[in-house]
């Protein structure tokens, strides 16, 4: 079924009908928040609801009220991202793309005939058990990193035009995560629901924080290992910074091998992150051991041949100088670990997105000559392009190349980005960053020494 047909089918129920409201969920258990797709803000899960019904981690009364609107031909206001797309362009909105997934569309009749009050087991689940993390990446924050919480509790928010990573603001928004040591009723509810949820899952993805620092991650792996007969077609994905202590990698490896070698899951992926190389990567992803990161990738791909790794790169102002070398490294791994046994064709993929927030770390603060480096990276990826997308070939895929090029297009796009203001904010942030973390920006980024000095003086 093509996307137009999917849209017509959805519109047959109502102009706001979207299967994702039933079939997908991201549960931030560490914060007690949930949402079905990333466009509407996550909402708080009422504790009294999960007490009597653990599926309320997904089937909250709030979400049910939105499902009711959808079934009655209304458009929930929280989904306005899609309504904007549909009303102002000829493009299909994510409502269509998300509903068109085969594991989602297959539930169409069941959902259409259901009452909005009915609980529904989702097919695609992302879960964050904890914000415990051993890194504090420059563009991250206390909601997703316990290391950031420690820093902000010690030094306070970064001072600037808008105080960056202010815990008081996060508390006000009710987004402060439970500490790892605290009792978390949402995690308890998850485990009550899990045996029933697991059977119906198409994809399960564990995010964080750093999931390998959470005992719940290993509990999930053990459960799947013991109960795989209930769902042998599961796609399992785990996020990890792959720079955790060795003992955790040593603990993970045999579990992955068991799931993979014994076909206990259909697809196995690790999502990790890096967006520069060497010292520059370590500066931005504070706490990262760059060499260890790649040796872990190399080892995991060698020992678990069916595993795929996705490197999610948040391309920011500090990525430009070494991104082309990162492309070389990814290419080297693609070549080395190319095989015909994994579910995904690529051993490793570079999934590049541009950073939007915080604005002062965006590529848009940079000078024109810096932006050309982004273009050169896209050119390199193009020359490393995969001539045909099949298991006989390796290289960068159409999508990987396009996403790098998109960063350049974004960087040079003419919009109302307040460059001067954000450059000053950047310099202000770096000054505090170096002082708090005992880092040396000028030594790590000699290419931006003059830029930093110029905007520090203003």
Partner 1 sequence: MLHIQKGNPWLFWPNHICDTFPEKPGNQKLSGEHNFNLNLEVKVNEVIGQKGTIFCILPRYTALDIYSNKLLFTITQDNNKPSYEELDVKIYDGVILKVKIEHIKNKTFKVFINGKEVFNWNLEKVPFGKATNPHIIFGAGNFPANGFNLNYTNLELYNFTLEDDTGIISNHSFKKFIFDKSYDISDNLNFIHKI
Task: Decide whether 191 or 383 has the Cβ nearer to partner 1.
Answer: 383
In whole angstroms, the minimum distance from the beta carbon of 383 to partner 1 comes to 4
Distance of alpha carbon 110 from alpha carbon 126, whole angstroms = 22
Looking at 129, 271, 315, 384, which residue binds partner 1 (CB under 8 A)?
Answer: 384
- Binding segment for partner 1 (CB under 8 A), chosen from 51-59, 232-240, 286-294, 376-384, is 376-384
Distance of alpha carbon 452 from alpha carbon 458, whole angstroms = 10
> In 10 A of CB 367, how many CB atoms?
13
In whole angstroms, the minimum distance from the beta carbon of 4 to partner 1 comes to 20
Task: Decide whether 312 or 379 has the Cβ nearer to partner 1.
Answer: 379
Query: What is the C-alpha end-to-end distance of the chain, expressed in Å?
Result: 57
- Binding segment for partner 1 (CB under 8 A), chosen from 4-12, 74-82, 184-192, 385-393, is 385-393
Distance of alpha carbon 431 from alpha carbon 443, whole angstroms = 13
Distance of alpha carbon 100 from alpha carbon 10, whole angstroms = 10
Q: Does 242 bind partner 1 (CB under 8 A)?
A: no
- Binding segment for partner 1 (CB under 8 A), chosen from 94-102, 175-183, 213-221, 399-407, is 399-407
Task: Decide whether 22 or 323 has the Cβ nearer to partner 1.
Answer: 323
Looking at 405, 423, 424, 455, which residue binds partner 1 (CB under 8 A)?
Answer: 405
Q: Is 73 left (phi over 0), alpha (psi -120 to 50) or beta?
A: left
Q: Does 385 bind partner 1 (CB under 8 A)?
A: yes
Contacting partner 1 within 330-359 (CB under 8 A): 331
In whole angstroms, the minimum distance from the beta carbon of 389 to partner 1 comes to 9
Looking at 256, 378, 427, 430, which residue binds partner 1 (CB under 8 A)?
Answer: 378
Question: Using N-to-C axis directions, what is the helix angle for 246-261 and 215-227, rounded to 10°?
Answer: 20
Q: Give the pair of three-digit tokens for residue 292.
A: 């260890």
Task: Decide whether 78 or 372 has the Cβ nearer to partner 1.
Answer: 372
In whole angstroms, the minimum distance from the beta carbon of 331 to partner 1 comes to 8
Q: What is the DSSP letter of 57?
A: G
Distance of alpha carbon 310 from alpha carbon 273, whole angstroms = 8
Q: Does 379 bind partner 1 (CB under 8 A)?
A: yes
Looking at 111, 177, 395, 444, which residue binds partner 1 (CB under 8 A)?
Answer: 395
Distance of alpha carbon 458 from alpha carbon 456, whole angstroms = 6
Cβ–Cβ < 8 Å for 274, 310 = no
The answer to whether the Cα torsion of 79, 84, 87, 92 is positive or negative is negative
Distance of alpha carbon 91 from alpha carbon 98, whole angstroms = 14
Looking at 247, 340, 387, 458, which residue binds partner 1 (CB under 8 A)?
Answer: 387
Residues at the interface with partner 1 (CB under 8 A):
331, 378-379, 382-387, 395, 398, 401-402, 405
């Amino acid at each position: 079924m093509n996307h137009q047909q999917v849209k017509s089918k959805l519109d047959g129920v109502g102009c706001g009908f979207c299967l994702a409201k039933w079939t997908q969920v991201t549960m931030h258990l560490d914060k007690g928040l949930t949402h079905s797709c990333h466009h509407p803000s996550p909402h708080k899960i009422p504790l009294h609801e999960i007490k009597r019904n653990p599926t309320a981690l997904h089937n909250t009364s709030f979400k049910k009220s939105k499902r009711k609107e959808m079934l009655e031909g209304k458009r929930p206001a929280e989904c306005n991202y899609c309504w904007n797309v549909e009303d102002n362009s000829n493009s299909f909105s994510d409502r269509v793309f998300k509903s068109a997934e085969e594991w989602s569309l297959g539930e169409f009749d069941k959902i259409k005939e259901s009452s909005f009050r009915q609980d529904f087991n989702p097919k695609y689940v992302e879960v964050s058990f904890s914000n415990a993390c051993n890194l504090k990446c420059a563009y991250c924050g206390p909601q997703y990193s316990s290391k950031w919480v420690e820093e902000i509790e010690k030094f306070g928010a970064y001072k600037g035009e808008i105080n960056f990573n202010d815990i008081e603001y996060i508390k006000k928004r009710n987004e402060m995560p439970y500490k790892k040591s605290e009792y978390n009723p949402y995690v308890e509810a998850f485990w009550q629901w899990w045996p029933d949820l697991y059977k119906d899952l198409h994809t399960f993805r564990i995010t964080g924080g750093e999931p390998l620092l959470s005992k719940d991650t290993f509990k999930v792996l053990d459960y799947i290992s013991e109960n795989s007969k209930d769902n042998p077609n599961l796609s399992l994905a785990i996020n990890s910074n792959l720079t955790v202590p060795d003992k955790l990698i040593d603990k993970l490896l045999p579990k992955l091998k068991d799931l993979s070698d014994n076909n206990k899951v259909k697809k196995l992926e690790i999502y990790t992150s890096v967006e520069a190389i060497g010292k520059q990567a370590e500066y931005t992803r504070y706490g990262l051991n760059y060499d260890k990161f790649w040796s872990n990738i190399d080892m995991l791909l060698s020992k678990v041949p069916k595993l795929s790794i996705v490197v999610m790169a948040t391309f920011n102002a500090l990525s430009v100088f070494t991104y082309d070398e990162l492309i070389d490294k990814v290419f080297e791994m693609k070549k080395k670990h190319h095989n015909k046994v994994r579910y995904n064709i690529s051993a490793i993929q570079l999934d590049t997105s541009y950073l939007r927030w915080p604005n002062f770390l965006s590529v848009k603060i940079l000078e024109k000559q810096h932006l050309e480096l982004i273009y050169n990276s896209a050119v390199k990826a193009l020359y490393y392009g995969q001539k045909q997308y099949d298991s006989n070939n390796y290289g960068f895929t159409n999508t990987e190349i396009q996403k790098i090029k998109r960063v350049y297009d974004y960087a040079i796009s003419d919009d109302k980005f307040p460059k001067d203001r954000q450059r000053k904010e950047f310099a202000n942030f770096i000054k505090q960053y170096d002082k708090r973390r005992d880092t040396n920006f000028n030594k790590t980024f000699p290419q931006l020494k003059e830029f930093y000095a110029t905007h520090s003086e203003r």
